[in-house]
Amino acid sequence: MYRLTRPIPMALIAVLLLAAPASAASGFAHDSKGPACTNIIPSDGVNTSDGSFDTATQTVSFQLVLAASSCTDVTYTLYVLDEENSATATVSWQFGSGASNLVQFIDVPVSSADGDVCVYATTGKGSKLYDRAPDATPKDPTDVECVVITDQGSGGGSRMG
């Protein structure tokens, strides 16, 4: 039988117990190169990073979920492409409100001939890029990792972290 011969300080146990639920609750790795307000995540357990494309009005609405309340000095940008590998994007950006972990882009005008669009989002400050969703891991330099949204919505929110 193994016997603990060196006592573990109670303060260390308390820190470990407090830290475990916080990391388990978030469920998502902090892949941003900045503060938590710049980390785009798929879901916070209630809201999801997801959107819709209205073919009748040719507008996109999209909601980003962040790991923490948005920062007022950070730029949140949504890129909308007509095709997955399109060189031209419609860009919509805004600063964070600081009041919520949701950043919403409502009725962004776009043009799509085939009834779907492809979106990706970034967070940054000045010329510094903090996060990109979906994460950019293209095998081909001309591939633009993005989430396709049809007239029924994207169903791709889980890829936006």
Lowest mean pLDDT among 17-26, 74-83, 94-103, 128-137: 17-26
Residue 129 has pLDDT above 70, yes or no: yes
pLDDT digits (tens, 9 = 90+) for 70-89: 999 999 999 999 876 677 78
Q: Alpha-carbon torsion 133, 135, 136, 139, what sign?
A: negative
Structure-block tokens of residue 160: 């936006």
Peptide linkage before 134 cis (omega within 30 of 0): yes
pLDDT digits (tens, 9 = 90+) for 12-34: 333 333 333 333 334 556 678 89
Buried b / exposed e along 27-36 (16+ C-beta atoms within 10 A): eeeeebebbe
* Mean predicted confidence (pLDDT) in 119-146: 83
* Mean predicted confidence (pLDDT) in 131-135: 90
CATH 2.60.120 at 36-159, yes or no: no
pTM: 0.76
